[in-house]
Structure 1
């Protein structure tokens, strides 16, 4: 279980009617996939947002896109999972 404080760059081309997608990737740097593999839990909600969370000017949409982002380096193949949060600006 992890508790994180996140930030992300925003694309303001469509301001003030913008919808932002913030991607968080969690990757192993110390262990290759020979030793460690991250997997999303399926039997429960894998990503939970703090109850009562408020974001100035934005509504956090309920849907979150979960995925995998395996990384390949000279030192090997490293496990990576990602979640995409969708934020819609309040008018």
Structure 2
């Protein structure tokens, strides 16, 4: 995640989430721990892909991260964080 780019030129990062999930399966809380830390990175690309992963994990601990991103992040990250909040609200 630390070297992930902001955006997805050529759609090269679409499978990143699946690779991360395969590494930790079935320890989803460990992946959430990693992504919660990465979501606060100063690098936009790191934040983008960490939040993208958190939207799928449906971990309630991500709520404050999503809320902060919706308020203060770039459009692409904000949009994904909003999706994460919607998913948590449906639980």
> TM-score if structure 1 supplies the norm length?
0.26
More helix per residue: 1 or 2?
2
Q: Which has the larger radius of gyration?
A: 1
Which structure is higher in RCO with an 8 Å CA cutoff and minimum separation 6? 1
